[in-house]
Structure 1
Amino acid sequence: MTRSKRWATLFLIGTLLIASTLSTWAQTSDPLRIQAEAAILVDAASGMILYQKNADQPLAMASMSKILTEYLILEAINNQQISWEDTTSISEYAYRVSQNLSLSNVPLRRNEHYTIRELYEAMAIYSANGATIALAEVLAGSETEFVRLMNAKAKELGMKNFTFVNSTGLNNKDLFGMHPAGTADAENLASAKDTALLALRILQDYPEVLNVASIPRKTFRPDTPDAIRMDNWNWMLPELIYGYEGIDGLKTGSTALAGYCFTATAQRNDRRLISVVMNSRSYADRFQETKKLLDYGFNNFERKELVPAGYQVPEQPDLPVQKGRTNRVGIATAKPLTLLIRRGEAEHYQPQVQLETERLTAPVTKGQQVGRLVATYTGPTQYEYLTADGPLRESVALVTTAEVEKAGFVRLILQQIRAFFSWLAQQIRGLF
């Protein structure tokens, strides 16, 4: 072999080794290799992020925007600002959008009245855009004002990287020049992390959202000339083509800019997960990538009881009590501490006491909260949370195990005398 050939061979071998190393690193750093521009997987109980890819980048979110519209409608229902049986007529704007059958729509009529329930179901099941605009107008008087409410609520919920320009998630160019905010070709933007946070908040505050989100199909205005079958765009509902065990929500979305998006939630036994996929390549891809995320979560994480109810930390089994019949009282967990953890990592969690007070003053009631017990993770993975209170959700109350009555007058005097002589003895010892 000539010298030049030998160098060429060594160069080729080196190149292959580098390529192999980079490939291995890529697979290790992103074991799921999600085929989407952004994705995230979250534990719904704590907001702990189990997987993320490009999750902070604001992207077009298409009809996933309607999760925020749903939030505002459900909030108004719960505040009795509107009711499900309230009726509304349809504006020219909502009517014109509803007649565009190239978009998701149930055709609405100007001379008809529709209940809030009818319009909400059309939005949540069929992603009907005209119905969404009609709801926005009912709640805020105009879509322009509703968009202001959307942006204010998003900020209140803790979202950070977002811009809402309409209630539907459509591109403004599809709104006949009547778009409420933004430029003529603007779309709603949010990061995968913010979209997951929005899903988390609506599940926490209005879990009834799933009552409609989980309906696989329903007829809009049955037994009328306007009857139209609404098939849920969430094809991962168990009854549909990409059916997945436990999925009961939440919202798909697609536009030319957004690609194919999906915010999903699934529950199996005591575990509920939230996933978001943004800008995948096709209808099928968004469901296949969602399946990857959920499979990863359900297969690799489990809810495990780390500490039972009544557990006392050996280093802090009790607290001192002033002016009581006894001078100490036991403290223990009020209920079990159960967390979603990676399988096999239970030994990486250490119980840690966080006290609200260093001592109590009698009278003390049994079950009085004195702090919290948290499980501090000491393993190799750095877990993030969607919300600042995420770690607090992974804790349980520490409470007193007994009642301590206030001491009588004579006992209090004796306690003070003992305390004085104890202090005096310490001072004398300090002299030698």
Structure 2
Amino acid sequence: MAARILSKRKTLTAIAGGVVLAAVVPVVAIATSEEPPPEVSAKGASLFDENGEQVFGKNVNDDRAMASTVKIMMAATILDDKSVDLERKVPVKQAYRDYVTEHSASTADLQTGDKVTVHQLLYASLLPSGADAAYALADTFGEGATNEQRVQSFVVKMNAKGHELGLGKSKFDSIDGTSEDSTTPADLAKLAQHAMKNDTFREVVKTKTYKTEAPAANGRTRYYTWTNTNQMLSSYKGITGIKTGTTSKAGECLVFAAERDGKTLTGTVLNSKDRYKDAAKMLDYGFGSDDAADMKIRKLPADAQQD
């Protein structure tokens, strides 16, 4: 299938001897229909099918800040260990709450002294994008004598996992995207496709709202409700996940996946002005549908985290 190369602005294309020459900073799309590739506001974007073939791309190999989408790698690093005990109890430390305050990060509002499971912490880190939950997981699965040492050793594990997966242009510097973490649209989509092969991960990221309980420090029961910040869920037909991210440096980011008629598409938008519209237009192009124009975004509860 021939590739079509277009730019955001009008591109002068010359065809000579079977070679297509185009302007720099291209948008590349593999033709799946007679419709032209969509224009997206994101500075970087990618869309791949279940076979790893690129359906759409914009600056797919350019380095970009990734914000909280880094938590996809955090979860994958844990879940790729087949021996991981998802029911392992983790006592919530005050340090986890302090980390949220220090970084002005999104939170699952874990309460000091509560005992939550690894499984619950995955929901808490991936749905409300809780930096406290991400810190708890890194502290639990890292190595060292102090919280900081264990977290840093876990970040080393994340980078090792990235190397193993062939994410050659991705750099993980934190467990929640608050540091110098960077990736490319292509690398991030590849990571997402890998993560979505895990049943636990896939179940977590498709959940809109998760209610659970945990033993509290005072001997009573704590009740938690976590809402998924990914507003594409229930807004676009076939969406199955997976993660939002927003910082001043990274802008609006979204990693998404959708299934229709046996076809699975996985995509990324990085530094977007309207990530959900961008994602919907890309999916429309890949599926040959026309749903983006009428898409109504699922509203979050007033007290939900924003990410």
Instruction: Give the TM-score range, shorter chain.
Output: 0.7 to 0.9
CA distance in 1, matches of 2:139, 2:69: 19
CA contact (8 A) 1:260 1:280 kept: yes
2:278 aligned partner, one-letter code? E
TM-score, with length taken from structure 2: 0.76
| CA distance 1:59–1:96, change in 2 (3 Å) | same
1:43 aligns with one of 34, 40, 49:
49
The alignment partner of 1:47 has SS state of coil
Pair 1:131-2:126 in alignment: no
1:165 aligns with one of 153, 166, 173:
173
| CA distance 1:225–1:168, change in 2 (3 Å) | same
CA distance in 2, matches of 1:73, 1:24: 45
Can you give the 5+ residue segments of structure 2 that lack an aligned partner in the other structure?
1-8, 14-22, 28-36, 144-149, 290-307
Partner of 2:255: 263
Moved more, 48-57 or 82-91: 82-91
Residues 88-107 of structure 1: pairs in structure 2 closer than 5 A: 88-98=90-100, 102-107=104-109
Pair 1:230-2:226 in alignment: yes
Pair 1:74-2:74 in alignment: no
CA distance in 2, matches of 1:231, 1:207: 20
CA distance in 1, matches of 2:64, 2:254: 13
| CA distance 1:259–1:220, change in 2 (3 Å) | farther
The alignment partner of 2:288 has SS state of helix
The alignment partner of 1:23 has SS state of coil
2:66 aligns with one of 47, 61, 68:
61
Partner of 1:197: 190
Pair 1:23-2:10 in alignment: yes
CA contact (8 A) 1:94 1:134 kept: yes
The alignment partner of 2:80 has SS state of helix
Pair 1:292-2:289 in alignment: no
| CA distance 1:101–1:57, change in 2 (3 Å) | closer
CA distance in 2, matches of 1:291, 1:67: 21
CA contact (8 A) 2:108 2:129 kept: no
Which string of whole-angstrom CA distances, capped at 9 and with x for unpartnered residues, describes residues 16-74 of structure 1?
A: xxxxxx63659x97431111110001002x10001111111111001110111111121
CA contact (8 A) 2:189 2:268 kept: yes
TM-score, with length taken from structure 1: 0.55
Partner of 2:6: none
CA distance in 2, matches of 1:109, 1:212: 21
- The alpha carbon displacement at 1:207 in A equals 3.9
Which string of whole-angstrom CA distances, capped at 9 and with x for unpartnered residues, describes residues 189-246 of structure 1?
A: 0011100110111223x144211111111235389775443211110111xxxx0011
Which string of whole-angstrom CA distances, capped at 9 and with x for unpartnered residues, describes residues 147-172 of structure 1?
A: 000111101101011111111112xx
2:203 aligned partner, one-letter code? N
CA distance in 1, matches of 2:261, 2:103: 40
1:155 aligns with one of 163, 166, 170:
163
CA distance in 2, matches of 1:218, 1:201: 23
- The alpha carbon displacement at 1:91 in A equals 3.7
- Structure of larger gyration radius: 1
2:188 aligned partner, one-letter code? T
CA distance in 1, matches of 2:249, 2:131: 17
| CA distance 1:102–1:147, change in 2 (3 Å) | closer
Which string of whole-angstrom CA distances, capped at 9 and with x for unpartnered residues, describes residues 255-290 of structure 1?
A: 010000000000012100001000012xxx100000
Pair 1:215-2:207 in alignment: yes
The alignment partner of 1:252 has SS state of strand
- Larger RCO: 1 or 2 (CA < 8 Å, sep 6+): 2
Partner of 1:315: none
CA distance in 1, matches of 2:240, 2:224: 23
The alignment partner of 1:126 has SS state of coil
CA contact (8 A) 1:122 1:220 kept: no
Partner of 1:429: none
1:151 aligned partner, one-letter code? N
Question: Could you tell me the percent identity over the aligned residues?
Answer: 30
